[in-house]
Amino acid sequence: MKNRNSPVSSSENINTKRKQKNSKLAVIGILLLVVFTFGQYLAMYLPAFNGVQPQLFFLFISMLWTALLGLFGARFVGRKKRYAFIAGLIIGGAAFAGALLLGDLRSDKNTGPWSQSQLQQSFMQGLSKNQCLLKSSSFLKRCDSAACLKTMSAVTTDCISVASGPSPEFCLSLAAEQQLVCGLTETDNTADNNKGNSLCLLQQKLHSRFCR
């Protein structure tokens, strides 16, 4: 029977405590990697839901964090680290591709021409004021008649009234766009002049309604 106070027993206790400490540190490290990886995915997908595609450096960061998570996770559970690292790279790349696709789809939805199903207050509340104007501008590029202008004026007014975003920032953006569009309309004699004139009239109405 071993003596608890013997050198061998003390050495075993020290090794056991050291292993327990290392195990706890490994768990904490993996949890931190999970948090960082999850935060990285949020940084890609939250803007994508608003139609903003992630920049290229997110690809490298996403692949790095996911690969490190796979590497240390495999090391902790005793699996092959190389395969886990490669799987992490693939998953990180796939996550970036998914964010790109989502951002592209949401961008078309949030800035493309209005559709009948989008003329709801619930949809308009999810847009920014600038997106309201962009959607109406896209619509007027297809239809520049007086009836379309009247309809888009009403739709855009309703949208901006409930959309998110500060009004001063929107007014500054609107003033810059108005100066550009209306200035080109005055000097343009091509077939696109009517479309520019319709957009200019819409911007003038919105400026008079929201920025004075």
Residue 90 to residues 72, 155, 161: CA-CA distances in angstroms?
Answer: 16, 44, 44
Q: Residue 28 is which amino acid?
A: I
CB of 35 within 8 A of CB of 65? no
Q: How far apart are CA 20 and CA 4, in angstroms?
A: 19
Kindly tell me if the per-residue pLDDT of 123 is higher than 80.
yes
Helices within 50-80 (DSSP H only): 57-77
Residues 7-14 have a mean pLDDT of 58
User: End-to-end alpha-carbon separation of the chain, Å?
Assistant: 92
Maximum alpha-carbon separation in the chain: 104
Of 6-10, 62-66, 116-120, 180-184, least confident by mean pLDDT is 6-10
pLDDT tens string 143-193: 768 888 889 999 999 999 998 878 888 888 888 888 888 876 555 554 455
Name the pLDDT band for 194 (thresholds 50, 70, 90).
Answer: low
pTM across the whole model: 0.53
The two tokens of residue 45 are 């997908």
Of 14-28, 47-61, 83-97, 117-131, least confident by mean pLDDT is 14-28
